[in-house]
Amino acid sequence: MPSLIPAADVKRDSALVSAIDIAREALVDDVGADAVGEHLAVVMEGERLATHTFSCLNPAYVGWQWAVTVARAPRAKNVTVSEVVLLPGAEALVAPEWVPWSERVRPGDLAPGDVLPTQADDPRLVAGYTGADDLESLSSRSPLSPGSWEIGLGRYRVLSLIGRDDAADRWSEGEFGPNATMAKQASLECSTCGFMLAMDGPMGQLFAVCANEMSPADGRVVTLTYGCGAHSEAMVLLPPGTAPDSADVDVVDDVDVTLEGEAVDDVDSDVVAETDVVAEIEDAQPSA
């Protein structure tokens, strides 16, 4: 007796439930006996409508099942076959769930000649100039005010606050951010490098562009807290024969001098020089 999986509020039809041979015969005629396995179950789909399932023996469809739907007209005893289909079972190998192309495309997929459409409601963009809901007042002069720089003249849309934040997070967490291996090994940051090109706008508070061809970040946006061994001040090489900077010469502040026959220790040189000048002026004056 085949297993019965009744549907809710569907009356069991004994003629359809017992029509295993009719369903198998129709299935063999359609796909061949070699692809049909044992009977698995019967499901009441509706009033006078049932589906018999058989295992699929085709090696290309392991875990799939044949489904044969049978029906009976009201007050009729004859069972007829409605359709034969192949359906995936619980252990069937199936294709992954379909994903829209806009979600499948990843950074780096765009090739020369490709065109990547942008959604009309892309949250990373707002209308230029008229996007008052996402831009601060033009009278604001706060360093982080997007309205101070991006009115959007000449462009239909500009970056929204969401788009700007997404870019900032992506750049900070990327290969030219403060947590990159190169940055962790560097002794100085880009904020003090002479090859750093400053950026305007709110992003300039965190980012700049590297202009050192010897740096791995040349021509890239870097965080001001990024760093590498090509920093302009990491090691300065002087031309041959050039004297070192006076700042590197040790200066002796304490001197020993003799003033009017007495030894004076640790007297500031400027004070001694001033005292000598006063003494010379007094000697030059005629005595009364």
Global pTM? Answer: 0.50
Average pLDDT value over all residues in the chain:
80
Instruction: Please give the helix or strand (H or E) that residue 168 lies within, else none.
Output: helix 161-172
Asked if residue 96 has pLDDT above 80, the reply is yes
DSSP 8-state symbol, 135: S
Instruction: Show the tokens assigned to 262.
Output: 């007495």
- Name the more confident of 259 and 194: 194
**Ordered domains of the chain (ranges, CATH):** 4-88 (3.10.450), 119-165 (no CATH), 166-223 (no CATH), 254-278 (no CATH)
In one-letter notation, the amino acid at residue 48 is R
pLDDT digit string, tens, across residues 143-192 = 444 444 455 566 788 889 999 999 999 999 999 999 999 999 999 999 99
Confidence of residue 286 (pLDDT cuts 50, 70, 90): low
**Maximum average pLDDT range among 19-33, 120-134, 153-167, 240-254:** 19-33
> Span 56-74, mean pLDDT?
94
What is 58-85 written as a DSSP string? Answer: -GGGTTEEEEEEEEE-TT---EEEEEEE
Cβ-count burial 250-260 (b if 16+ within 10 Å, e if not) = eeeeeeebeee
Separation of alpha carbons 272 and 262, rounded Å: 13
